[in-house]
Structure 1
Amino acid sequence: MKQLPDLDLELHNLFDIVNGRTKTQLLLTAIELNIFDFLSTSQSAESVAAELGTHPMCTRFLLDGLAALDLVDKKDNRYQNLPDTQMALHSQSPAYVGRMFSMMDGMSAGIMADIGHAVRHGPPDTPADFGNEAVWAAHARSMANYQRGGPAQKMAATVSQIDGFASFEKMLDLGGGPGLYCIAMVAEHPRMRGVIFDQPAVTKVAEEFIAEYEMADRVTTMAGDYVNDPIGEGYDLIWASATLNFVRPGLTAMLEKIHRALKPGGVFVSHADGLTHERTQPAAYVLGSMAWMLSGQDLMFDSGEVAEAMKRAGFASVESTIVETPMMPMELDIARK
């Protein structure tokens, strides 16, 4: 008689991967329906369904799934947001990131719907359009709450400790998007002024936040293409967060341009990804950037790549460290002219 094999498989990780699509769809559906707006206080599935006009039984299944994901608490058949969920996923929270997650999914949905096609036939003939200002304006708006949910404050506190910061007079936020990093850094200084540089449609978004934080007297915008257009000069500090990837093929030339825009002794700070373990870690970034890569855009930096390019561009010194962010660990490279 044939014996069963003497095996004891451990498949938790594989099952978790297979369930990944379900997890994503539960979250995105809850965001689409604004489920979390109704769960600031304890609610039954029936009451949520009545508010939303949804099917009571399927609403309960969705809520049970959110509880399984540790996004909501269920007790006595009533559901309520957990504290982190209330902060991140209630649409009226200043740190609401639901729009960001929905946009991230929308931007990657096409290529990720059939990864096998890309693997078999290669990336699309038409590369991604990085010049679509409307898309980047929407992206900037979606990222604003992420930035002011802690990262901007943390990076401002870190930059304020740079030797000489107290004497800085002018800073540039290169590819600054909504500009919350610049606003936070200027707020750490009694008199420094800031300039947020990005595409024209994006600077309109930044101007909304400048007005919201009453910084119009100290923070301005400059619209253009930072690769081909002048970026100004005489800066004591230039900050670039998660934007240099788009100039990776010409990184050294871009850093030379940044070098020229700084005053003698000025500081350039890059906040960017840095892949390790033969470009397989951090997992969050490898997976989050998969759509870009399968589209033929290998823009992720290797660990130390930006720092080495800073040295080639003529910076006198470079200090590098790893900083934790809500997304993943990132590299912070501080270069002095």
Structure 2
Amino acid sequence: MTFLDRWRERWRNVRDRLVADPRFQRWALNNPVTRPLARRGARAGLDLAAGFVYSQVLVACAQLKLFDLLRGGPLPVDALATKLSLSEPATRRLLDAASSLDLAERRSGGRYGLGLLGAAFAGNPQALRVVEHQPLLYADLIDPVALLRQEKRGALADYWPYSDGDSPKTLSAQQVGPYSAFMAATQPMVAQQALDAYDLSRGRRLLDVGGGEGVFLAAAADRAPQLRLALFDLPAVAARARERLDAAGLLARTDIYGGDFLNDPLPEGADIATLIRIVHDHDDASALKLLRNVRKALAPGATLLIIEGMSGVKGAEPLDAYYGFYTLAMGRGEPRRVEEIEALLRDAGFGKFRLARNPLPALASILVAQAV
């Protein structure tokens, strides 16, 4: 430990003792110089304690399609009550709660319109799909200590059936349907981040490993018309991709493969490969096995893009909380820092890493690596 590290440690210890002292807390609130900082800290504490209630207000707004109703303009409470199938008191309670969170906004004449955040959600159906998915996670988090002690099995493991199965290739169309549809519905917002950050037009053949229903490949095909496309996923998922890409008129330029990407050989010949929201679903041993399998399919100099939420990236700090508990309920996986992913990549035969710049790292970061 360096001198600077020791100094920082001593300072933090002093800070912690002060902030934990009730007398200091009262002094900080009464002192006009420190009062704004103390109030911000108190508000942050309230937001943490009430965060579940906030999220449930958002879920209620999403499930009741409130943002769609208000998108056309402000409405009075009685009209909204009829459209929401709620009593007027319940409607007003929801609207006041939503207004306090900037999801709605009080307007003149007793009407309510969209708040700034509500307008953002109204224009982003993919984000609303994630919100509507959240109750599955919330049910598993009712007893977070039991989840941490592995005294209960998370229900999310059933939603993602490949997460604790020994033979994922045997999953049926019915089993893969719910999560495949969810991934397809939420993939466009991730695809946009990746395609804006990395120019695929330099490539000849793109292989999307764990490519789901082919939503990313369809977006990539639009950005780079010269690209040949390839997708690898579980057989039942690959069948869904075939239908989607056929409907999009892309089947002639796409090769679709079904199999287990941990154990089956991956198709060769791609000069760009992608793993989108895949690596953080696996523990270190499985992630390394996957990366080595990808490396076997790539020639030296080929590019691999890992596209997912990553810990420690500025603007994405809360991901350790969200993905940490989401993957715990799911049954495997963990959020990783960029350097931890790079260590796995290095062991798998990749190098020349760089983190591509993108405006929303809380949604996804894009780590570029090269097969060496």
TM-score (norm 1): 0.81
Query: CA offset at residue 135 of structure 1?
Result: 5.9
Secondary structure class of the residue paired with 2:251: coil
Query: CA offset at residue 24 of structure 1?
Result: 1.2
Provide Cα deviations, 1:164-195, integer angstroms capped at 9, x if missing partner: x53x3221111122433222222222321212
Partner of 1:117: 146
The answer to whether the Cα contact below 8 Å between 1:111 and 1:118 also exists between their aligned partners in 2 is: yes
The answer to whether the Cα contact below 8 Å between 1:239 and 1:269 also exists between their aligned partners in 2 is: yes
1:191 to 185, 206, 226: 226
1:104 to 129, 134, 159: 134
Provide Cα deviations, 1:72-105, integer angstroms capped at 9, x if missing partner: 2320121223466346347xx6x34323222233
Query: CA offset at residue 70 of structure 1?
Result: 1.0
Secondary structure class of the residue paired with 1:231: coil
Provide Cα deviations, 1:86-142, integer angstroms capped at 9, x if missing partner: 46347xx6x343232222331x233301123335x4343689341566565323322
- 1:313-324 equivalences in 2 (<5 Å): 313-315=348-350, 317-321=352-356, 323-324=358-359
Partner of 2:89: 57
Secondary structure class of the residue paired with 2:281: helix
Q: Which has the larger radius of gyration?
A: 2
1:271 aligns with 2:307: yes
2:180 to 116, 137, 140: 140
Provide Cα deviations, 1:22-41, integer angstroms capped at 9, x if missing partner: 11111111222222221122
1:159 to 174, 191, 198: 198
Higher strand share: 1
Query: CA offset at residue 197 of structure 1?
Result: 2.0
The answer to whether the Cα contact below 8 Å between 1:237 and 1:268 also exists between their aligned partners in 2 is: yes
Go from structure 1 to structure 2 and tell me whether the alpha carbon gap of 1:204 and 1:317 turns closer, same or farther (over 3 Å shift).
Answer: same
Output the amino acid matched with 2:86.
T
The answer to whether the Cα contact below 8 Å between 1:194 and 1:219 also exists between their aligned partners in 2 is: yes
Partner of 2:34: none
Give the Cα separation in 2 of the matches to 1:295 and 1:147: 19
> Which region of structure 1 is more displaced relative to structure 2, 239-248 or 129-138?
129-138
The answer to whether the Cα contact below 8 Å between 1:245 and 1:299 also exists between their aligned partners in 2 is: yes
Give the Cα separation in 1 of the matches to 2:89 and 2:361: 34
Secondary structure class of the residue paired with 2:71: coil
Long gaps (5+) in structure 1: none
The answer to whether the Cα contact below 8 Å between 2:262 and 2:286 also exists between their aligned partners in 1 is: no
Secondary structure class of the residue paired with 2:311: coil
Give the Cα separation in 2 of the matches to 1:178 and 1:82: 34
Output the amino acid matched with 2:267.
G
Give the Cα separation in 1 of the matches to 2:300 and 2:326: 40
Output the amino acid matched with 1:159.
Y
Secondary structure class of the residue paired with 2:303: strand
1:218 aligns with 2:242: no
Secondary structure class of the residue paired with 1:98: helix
Partner of 1:34: 65
1:284 to 304, 316, 319: 319
Give the Cα separation in 2 of the matches to 1:155 and 1:67: 33
Give the Cα separation in 1 of the matches to 2:154 and 2:323: 21
Go from structure 1 to structure 2 and tell me whether the alpha carbon gap of 1:212 and 1:61 turns closer, same or farther (over 3 Å shift).
Answer: farther
Secondary structure class of the residue paired with 2:96: helix
Go from structure 1 to structure 2 and tell me whether the alpha carbon gap of 1:233 and 1:335 turns closer, same or farther (over 3 Å shift).
Answer: same
Output the amino acid matched with 2:305.
V
Long gaps (5+) in structure 2: 1-21, 30-37, 166-170
Partner of 1:180: 215
1:239 to 246, 266, 274: 274
> Which region of structure 1 is more displaced relative to structure 2, 19-28 or 123-132?
123-132
Give the Cα separation in 2 of the matches to 1:87 and 1:215: 32
Go from structure 1 to structure 2 and tell me whether the alpha carbon gap of 1:306 and 1:73 turns closer, same or farther (over 3 Å shift).
Answer: same
Go from structure 1 to structure 2 and tell me whether the alpha carbon gap of 1:195 and 1:301 turns closer, same or farther (over 3 Å shift).
Answer: same
Higher helix share: 2
Report percent identity of matched pairs. Answer: 21
Query: CA offset at residue 267 of structure 1?
Result: 1.3
Number of aligned positions between the proteins: 321
Output the amino acid matched with 1:246.
D
The answer to whether the Cα contact below 8 Å between 2:129 and 2:185 also exists between their aligned partners in 1 is: no
Go from structure 1 to structure 2 and tell me whether the alpha carbon gap of 1:297 and 1:43 turns closer, same or farther (over 3 Å shift).
Answer: same
> Which region of structure 1 is more displaced relative to structure 2, 323-332 or 72-81?
323-332
TM-score (norm 2): 0.75
